[in-house]
Each structure stands twice: as structure tokens, then as C-alpha cells.
Structure 1
Amino acid sequence: MKILVIAAHPDDEVLGCGATIAKHVKEGDQVYICIVSEGASAQYDDPEMIEVRKKAAQNAAKTMGVKDVFFHGLPDTKLDNVPSLEINKILEKHIREIKPEIVYTHAKEDNHIDHSIIFSSTKVAVRPIKCGFIKKVLAYEVLGSTTNEFIPNYFVDVENFFDVKKKAFEFYKSEMGDFPHPRSFKALETLAKYRGINSAFKKAEAFKLIYQRCNK
């Protein structure tokens, strides 16, 4: 089975569904990641940080066993200045070429403008009339930006894969902080345990089911 993970910035893919990605790979699925923005220019004056973030994403993807990761380098925190058609075409191209059965993307309930734009563009790109091969579209949460309005209805047991998520996130050292910073190992583990409590697992990643298509 082919899986496509869509992320606004390098690190969103790990924060949102890193353990689930590792689980897919273990089960024999092919996972691809599309990162739309360079994810650095709004935070750092040093232009070399763009390449640092890209390298971190490549190393994280390798750690999780991802088949390929695609970078598009659109401006960080400025996707609202990019024509929506341009973003839509980026996503549509990968969906058309990969033909994923499952797509993971950002949640609508997010206070980061880039995240909410990616959600909207994903909904356009996965329209059933063009993508009958897609069986499921799931929105993930990003600790620190997804709001409390996000109410998950789909949970994945990641007890045996959470360590892979932690190892992948280690490459994003520039984004890490000390607890209670949301981008800390303790915060990520706390969320995983909390989502596990929600779903009778020891650790879980939570999603919102946006679309599902059943053949039977």
C-alpha cells in the first residue's frame, strides 16, 4: 500500500504522525512525504538554515524508513501569499504520480496559517472524482499549533513505534526545547500517553478522519 504524508514544514511530518509512518513501513507500506514550505526563513536570518532543515527532514525520513521525500521550498509562514492554485497543483502532482491509498495532512483546527492552508489545498487535491484510488484521508495534530477544537476520531496504537518517532525528531534540534515546551520529548510522550488513554492504548497518535471510501 502507498501512503502520502503532506506537511507544511520540515518537522510537521514527525510531530504529526512519525510513529504511524514507522508502523506503516514495518507493515510493508511505501511511505512518501511532501514538504511544501522551506520552514526556516520566518524564524532564522541565516539562509543556510533552509538547507539545515532540509537535511534534518531527509535524515528523519531515513530513520522512519520513508521511500522518498519531496521538497518544494515555498516561503515559510507566507503560504497565504502563494496562489492557492500553485499549492493545489503541487499536491495534485504527487497524488497523481504516487496514487496513495491513504493521505495524511494537517488539521483544519490549527492556528498556524500554513497548516490550515495545506488542509484546504489537500481537500481540493483529493477530490474523489479524480482520486478514486484514495481510500482514506486523515488529519493529524501538531503539538503547539493545533487547537483544542481538534477532536480526533481515529487512533493508531504506536506503543512499539514511538521510539522511532523520537529518534526521527532528534534531527530537528533547532526546533527542540525543554519541557513544558511542546517540542520536547517529554511533551511528545505526554501527548502520546494521553491519546492512548483516549483509545485504550499505552501510546497512540490521534487523527481526524476526513474522508473514507469503502469498496464493499
Structure 2
Amino acid sequence: KASEILGAASVTLDNFADNRMDGCELLDVIKVVEQGIDQHQPEIVYTHHSGDVNIDHRRIHEAVITACRPVPGHPVKSLLFFEIPSSTEWQPPGSAPIFAPNWFVDVTETLNFKLKALEAYQSEMRPWPHPRSLQAVEHLARWRGASVGVEAAEAFILGRQLVM
């Protein structure tokens, strides 16, 4: 339902066990990501931040970095890392890289779509004052927006960008 609200053309899921990707061979995860890149030929890829507390998110980050190696002819020109409320900010200081965004997208006009999609994603949402509550997600978007002079923003770390 969330993907329908956002107008996603397709959603691809694999059979990796939830919160157990540390038990998967990294190469198996890389192959799944590479298949998606081969199929869709994206110029921009978004993935989790490397300092996320969730092991699955860190594993996906590693796989995406590897699958997006800048070899000749590779379609990916931009690689962006995003934050996940209740995962990215929960790493203890000094245990992992901090999320220090340097790329912002104004989402003032689309924030309500995101909130509606998250509301439909009931298995992951929590009641206020949890960081994954609708209120907290909206507060974060407004805070990120205020930090760059717009009403609401999504924050990313630019991992790589090829300008042609």
C-alpha cells in the first residue's frame, strides 16, 4: 500500500531473513543489488548510512557500495546515503561514522505523501515519542528543512557523484 501511495512502478523483495543479514554471504547480497541495477539502470542510488545501528541496513550499505563500483559503463552516477529514524541516531558516539548530511532535497510539496505512505507502513511505525512515529518523522523533515532554509527537507550524505 505504501508503494502505491508513492506511485512506485514496482517493488522487488528478496528472501533474506529480517535482522539476520550478518549471517548472509555478502556476495549473495551484492548479486541481488547488481541484478536490480542491471534491470533498472538507475543513475541515482539511495542506500542506508554506514553508521546505522541495524545490521541489515549496514549489510545493504556494504553491498550497494560494492555493486556501485565506478567502473566504465556503470549506470550509477550518484550515490546517496540516507538516515533512518531510530537506527541512524542510535549508534553510540565513536562506535561508527556519524550522519553528517551534505545533500538536501526540498520535500515541502511532497512531505504529506511520505507521511501517508508511512502511515500505511504500520509494521514499522511506532507511537509518539518514538523516532519512527509520524510526528517525529515530520519534525525531522521540518528540522532538516529549517537547517537549509526551506519548510521541509530530506537529508543525505553524498557518497559519490559523477558530473558529465
TM-score of the pair, normalised by structure 2 = 0.92
1:188 counterpart = 2:137: yes
The count of corresponding residues between Structure 1 and Structure 2 is 157
Task: Please name the residue that 1:56 is paired with.
Answer: none
1:162 counterpart = 2:104: no
**In the alignment, residue 130 of structure 2 is paired with which amino acid?**
H
**In the alignment, residue 169 of structure 1 is paired with which amino acid?**
L
Report 1:118-197 matches (<5 A): 118-129=60-71, 132-147=74-89, 149-197=98-146
Distance 1:106 1:199, change over 3 A: same
RMSD of equivalent CA atoms = 1.2
> Counterparts of 1:166 and 1:131 in 2: how far apart (Å)?
37
Which of the numbers 81, 93, 117 marks the counterpart of 2:59?
Answer: 117
CA drift at 1:131? 5.2
Give percent identity, aligned residues only: 39
> Counterparts of 2:24 and 2:138 in 1: how far apart (Å)?
35
> Counterparts of 1:174 and 1:87 in 2: how far apart (Å)?
24
- SS of 2:34's equivalent? helix
CA drift at 1:130? 5.5
> Counterparts of 1:179 and 1:143 in 2: how far apart (Å)?
12
Which of the numbers 206, 210, 214 marks the counterpart of 2:155?
Answer: 206
TM-score of the pair, normalised by structure 1 = 0.70
- SS of 2:80's equivalent? strand
For structure 1, which runs of at least 5 residues remain unmatched after alignment?
Answer: 1-58
Q: Deviations over 1:120-165 (max 9, x none)?
A: 1100000111553212010110000003710000000001100000
Distance 1:98 1:91, change over 3 A: same
Q: Which has the higher helix share?
A: 1
Q: Deviations over 1:53-85 (max 9, x none)?
A: xxxxxx111110111100102101100000001
Q: Which has the higher strand share?
A: 1
CA drift at 1:204? 0.4
> Counterparts of 2:77 and 2:139 in 1: how far apart (Å)?
31
Report 1:67-86 matches (<5 A): 67-86=9-28
**In the alignment, residue 139 of structure 1 is paired with which amino acid?**
F
Task: Please name the residue that 2:95 is paired with.
Answer: none
**In the alignment, residue 125 of structure 2 is paired with which amino acid?**
M
Q: Deviations over 1:177-211 (max 9, x none)?
A: 22111111110111001101111111000000011
